[in-house]
Chains A and B, each alone.
Chain A
């Protein structure tokens, strides 16, 4: 039920895909549930990881961001100063948040909304249930701090939601000027 010794190598080598930006409609569509053992899904997971890795400062990427309306995403918050629990690089399918607590605000940016950031409340601790791409094995991930925020952001993408849909108030969006 945990990630165990899962590594992204089991997915094979991914391709770097172009990342789409809002208002691209795919970003606002609810992603389809996927068969995690489907070779196309495995390839998609590998592509997401490859794309995340070449994108400076990127700690997570969801399928809609590469134009695919599906519930697949990857996360890697390794080395991030705000990280607590860290599970390394992983990709998940059909993820659901089953527990969320310790809500706190934080300012988020998104590769698909390159010119803005916004203050969004996220749970500082979450329990996520999902399936691993490839084996389809069910996983239950307990995490906190920055990894929890990243998971919520990516699960939102899979549900067709951007941080803009959750911004805490009309004066809580900002022009983003500092590019990583």
Chain B
């Protein structure tokens, strides 16, 4: 990737009906325009295809136009917009994982993430899944030094109120 100065950065989302070949089709369109696909994450959300990506290169309008054939039947939605490159700021936080599971009910995500925010934590990765009656949330959270113990208590209280299980643990990684 190297220097980002002077490069046109685009944020793109592609969401909709899943079928084999979507990723290849979208990537080919981007490649054909000389767009350099940088960070992206794709998953299926309740069966819907969902891809969020950032790429460098052409003008947003050109990408939108080039993606039109893929979205023409209305089953796939693509959005393209130019964004200002973000400084990858040095994050001094300590990485933690929050796991939540329990019976699905309204407000679990809001209640849990509000506590994280109140503790000065920043969510850097998040997945939620509803599987039958079971609701699951797993978040990667960057916490200020010393904030874990307090947050742990607050989450325990929230767990009681929501009647779900919540664990907070350090996301340890070992340098080898």
Interface residues of A (CB under 8 A from B): 57-60, 80, 82, 106-111, 117, 146, 149-150, 153-154, 163, 170-171, 174-178, 180
Complex: A59 Cα to B176 Cα, angstroms: 5
Complex: A109 Cα to B172 Cα, angstroms: 10
Q: Which residue of B lies closest to A122 (CB)?
A: B176
Min C-beta distance of A176 to chain B, whole Å:
7
Q: B43 at the A/B interface (Cβ < 8 Å)? A: yes
Q: Which residue of B lies closest to A109 (CB)?
A: B175
Q: Which residue of B lies closest to A111 (CB)?
A: B175
Q: Is B176 within 8 A of A177, CB to CB?
A: no
A interface majority secondary structure: mixed
Q: Is B174 within 8 A of A178, CB to CB?
A: no
The interface residues of chain A lying within 8 Å CB-to-CB of B171 are: 107, 174
The interface residues of chain B lying within 8 Å CB-to-CB of A108 are: 173-176
Min C-beta distance of A160 to chain B, whole Å:
16
Q: B102 at the A/B interface (Cβ < 8 Å)? A: no
Q: Is B172 within 8 A of A177, CB to CB?
A: no
The interface residues of chain A lying within 8 Å CB-to-CB of B43 are: 171
Q: Which residue of B lies closest to A119 (CB)?
A: B173
Q: Is B140 within 8 A of A59, CB to CB?
A: no
Instruction: Pick the residue among A57, A154, A170, A174 that contacts B175 (CB under 8 A).
Output: A57
Instruction: Pick the residue among B42, B127, B173 that contacts A107 (CB under 8 A).
Output: B173
Q: Is B176 within 8 A of A153, CB to CB?
A: yes
The interface residues of chain A lying within 8 Å CB-to-CB of B174 are: 59, 80, 82, 106-109, 146, 149
Q: B161 at the A/B interface (Cβ < 8 Å)? A: no
Complex: A111 Cα to B124 Cα, angstroms: 22
Q: Is B127 within 8 A of A177, CB to CB?
A: no
Complex: A82 Cα to B174 Cα, angstroms: 9
The interface residues of chain B lying within 8 Å CB-to-CB of A177 are: 90-91, 93, 95, 142
Q: B3 at the A/B interface (Cβ < 8 Å)? A: no
Q: B94 at the A/B interface (Cβ < 8 Å)? A: yes
Complex: A175 Cα to B41 Cα, angstroms: 13
Q: Is B176 within 8 A of A174, CB to CB?
A: no
Complex: A162 Cα to B94 Cα, angstroms: 25
